[in-house]
A and B are shown apart, each in its own frame.
Chain A
């Protein structure tokens, strides 16, 4: 059932700019670092002389949470808007499909779209490193993969929350404001205590306790998604 809903959902988001957005995030991050390294090439390469790849990743790293939170907010809102715009909920939910399947399909769809962004970030960062003349032999494959995905897992609570709010509120003002606020605040996440979910994406990559943070992200994400699901199931559709 969920797979059917998901297959319909892929069709619905065609031409809605969601894929464009999913690509814009990682490409923007990489382009920014391209500019950064391009302008200060000699200086930066000298300061990261013993580990240029590590230097590049570190520079990318600090912008990933804000991009991720913004991406989550906008993807969820755009996806929900496809249904809100012309009140398609009443048609969709009167079809022989459970609300659980509809909600899960949206969750999976948002997650997969963000995964594509993460892959693009990995590829883009690798490409930029090579372009800047960093050695193929030293390329840190694992860290390049981790930089997007690990943070995505740690940001799952945010994804669950944004999806819940976007799907159940017709007025997207609230979820979008919350999302943007969270993104901006997350720029200062480094100074937060470790229990703050906004700090988790950074912790999940840099530690301490990477595995534990990812576990916490998954757990809290599932808890929030379940709460959203229960609400979505009981909600009256107007």
Chain B
């Protein structure tokens, strides 16, 4: 069994009777990039704040690195780097001074400041006051701050929020490299599935405080497949042939639309079609877009 870096059991957070997080069971294994997804207000940030000990859970247990957050908070935080929502910084200080203010608390070596600035490519801008930075630069500085104490676990809350496409791309590349280059486990939250899909191994989707899906991204994509389209020279005959083979489907605009089936059966169908002198123009998988799946999962059974 792989080691779980983050594990929550029956986590609840209630604000004046309104449940922000309900019965949440997160499981994140070492070396994973875990995409934590959900629409705005679903409870992502609340969960992340609880993981960092910024707010107290109403109920439930949080274990990081197999240790209880309540009793071994300092040890856990020493091994964790975080960026919560929009970046925090001291605007009147330069990037180096901002990192120095954090370094004085974490006690990391001084040389580490230059290293993390290099990782997020801010070395050139390091001596400017941060208030003049673009949002993307501030966000990168936030990641540099999170990396300062050489964490084993990186918790990033919407790190690409408000960035332009090139900024998003940069941050994504940065995150993707974390497990590979530094062996860091990453929890990254977002409200965009398309964005997480490109970097995460595993996703958890949360809706109204509850986890509605938690599995690998591949399994998520598999549920996206919803049948085939087949373009052939004589569609009516071809449909009959397909139905004889036990496929289910209909004809639409002279194109066969078939329910999803095993690979072997697809091969057999194509073989039969060719044997019966049908010309097969196209065999395509009909896919729901990831956003559709996301909307479907998130939208399903919304409470009134």
| Chain B: minimal CB distance from A224 (Å) | 24
Binary contact track B160-176/A, C-beta < 8 Å → 1, others 0: 00000000000000000
B77, A237: Cβ atoms closer than 8 Å: no
Binds B, one of A67-75, A79-87, A142-150, A205-213: A79-87
Interface residue from A11, A85, A94, A237 paired with B101 (Cβ < 8 Å): A11
A14 and B96 alpha carbons, distance in the complex (Å): 14
- CB of A136, distance to nearest CB on chain B (Å): 43
CA distance A92 to B93 in the complex (A): 15
Which residues of chain A come closer than 8 Å to B52, judged between CB atoms?
A: 90, 94
- Per the bound structure, the CA–CA distance linking A8 and B97 in Å amounts to 10
Decide yes or no whether B102 CB sits under 8 A from chain A.
yes
Across the interface, do B54 and A236 meet the contact criterion of CB distance under 8 Å?
yes
- Which of A14, A97, A98, A234 sits near B93, CB closer than 8 Å? A14
Q: Which residue of A lies closest to B81 (CB)?
A: A94
Q: Give the interface size class of chain B.
A: 20 to 34
Contact across chains for A4 and B104 when beta carbons are under 8 A apart? yes
A interface residues, tally (CB under 8 Å): 28
Complex Cα spacing A98 to B53, Å: 11
A46 within 8 A of B: no
Most buried by A among B49, B53, B85, B104: B104
B131, closest chain A residue (CB)? A86
Taking CB atoms and an 8 Å cut-off, the chain A residues in 36-54 that contact chain B are: none
Contact status A15-B102, CB under 8 Å: no
Which residues of the partner chain B approach A237 to less than 8 Å between Cβ atoms? Answer: 49, 54-55
Residues of A within 8 A of B85 (CB): 90
Q: Given the complex of chains A and B, what is the CA–CA distance between A214 and B93 in angstroms?
A: 39
Those of A70-124 within 8 Å (CB) of chain B: 82, 85-98
- The 4 A-B residue pairs with the shortest CB-CB distance, nearest first, are A91-B88, A236-B55, A96-B77, A96-B78
> Could you list 29 examples of A-B contacts with CB < 8 Å?
A5-B105, A8-B101, A11-B100, A11-B104, A14-B93, A15-B93, A16-B92, A86-B88, A86-B91, A88-B88, A88-B90, A90-B49, A90-B88, A91-B82, A91-B84, A91-B102, A91-B142, A91-B145, A92-B88, A94-B54, A95-B105, A96-B74, A96-B75, A96-B106, A97-B77, A98-B74, A234-B56, A236-B54, A238-B55
B: which residues have CB within 8 A of A?
A: 49, 52-56, 74-75, 77-78, 80, 82, 84-86, 88-93, 97, 100-102, 104-107, 142, 145, 149
Give the B-binding residues of A (Cβ under 8 A).
Answer: 4-5, 7-8, 11-12, 14-16, 82, 85-98, 234, 236-238
